[in-house]
Structure 1
Amino acid sequence: MKILIVEDNEALAQTAGWIIEMLGYDYRISLTPKAALADGEDYRPDVVMMDIGLPGMSGYDLCREMRAKPIHADAVFVAQTGWDEREHREQSAQAGFAHHLTKPVDLQTLENVLNTIAGEMHVRN
């Protein structure tokens, strides 16, 4: 399973990447919304883990823009943010995120979400 990490904090992005790799999945990091749009076209991720508070474009808007592209029709979007209020969870769902994880993300929670997505992908294919 290929996972695109969209996170403007490079240290957090790399740490998430190492964890994802440890769980047996492939990853690529995009540090800006512009990079995420380009990388999404090239990498064709199965999962997009995205921060909401990005520079220049919110994660909500970026999720909507990426989801509108046919290439991402089957991708699963996961919000990974420090914002955990109900309104943020509702905005995440409205933008097209399937999951909303709060930073710092618990390793077991991340593993459960990714394994669930992988299982659902296996059933679809």
Structure 2
Amino acid sequence: MSEPMRVMIVEDNEALAQTTGWLVEMLGYDYRLALSGKAALEQVGDYHPHVMMLDLGLPGISGYDLCRMLRQRPELADTVFIAQTGWSEAEHRRQSAEAGFHHHLVKPLALEKLEMVLGEIAKAKA
């Protein structure tokens, strides 16, 4: 992949969204922030992300529902979906898998874990 991998971060906590963006950028990837599910739906067509990191506890449209909606879009067929949440219980992991997420990361995100997951995705897409 000659261009940097594109990562869309959907998180309603603006400070956390920006911090996650900086981590993604530090790892060598491009990122775009969306502070709501609605904003993500509006921006995703222009950005064509390789990876979408979705907070599960979004107001309005939950991260689960947002993932289901986005997975129906043909242009996102190869996009990897990552749940990023404070919810670590087995039930939440089951629900995120059922919604179509490929990965379930618990906040606060450990840089090493984020680097490993994004690195594997980038390698698979190369």
Normalized against structure 1, the TM-score is what? 0.96
Q: Which residue pairs with 2:59 in the alignment? A: 55
In the alignment, the residues of structure 1 paired with residue 14 and residue 20 of structure 2 have an alpha-carbon distance, to the nearest angstrom, of: 10
The CA RMSD measured in Å over matched residues stands at 0.4
Q: Which runs of 4+ in 1 moved over 2 A?
A: none
1:77-115 deviation per Cα after TM superposition (whole angstroms, max 9, x unaligned): 000000000000010011010000000011000000000
Q: Number of residues paired by the alignment?
A: 122
How far is the alpha carbon of 1:23 from its aligned partner? 0.3
1:19-46 deviation per Cα after TM superposition (whole angstroms, max 9, x unaligned): 1000000000000111001111110000
Aligned residue among 101, 106, 109 for 2:105: 101
In the alignment, the residues of structure 1 paired with residue 123 and residue 99 of structure 2 have an alpha-carbon distance, to the nearest angstrom, of: 23
Q: Which residue pairs with 2:83 in the alignment? A: 79
Normalized against structure 2, the TM-score is what? 0.96
For structure 1, the residue ranges without an aligned partner over 5 or more in a row are none
For structure 2, the residue ranges without an aligned partner over 5 or more in a row are none
AA at the equivalent of 1:78: I
Identity of aligned residues (%): 63
1:1-125 to structure 2, matched below 5 A, reads 1-122=5-126
AA at the equivalent of 2:90: R
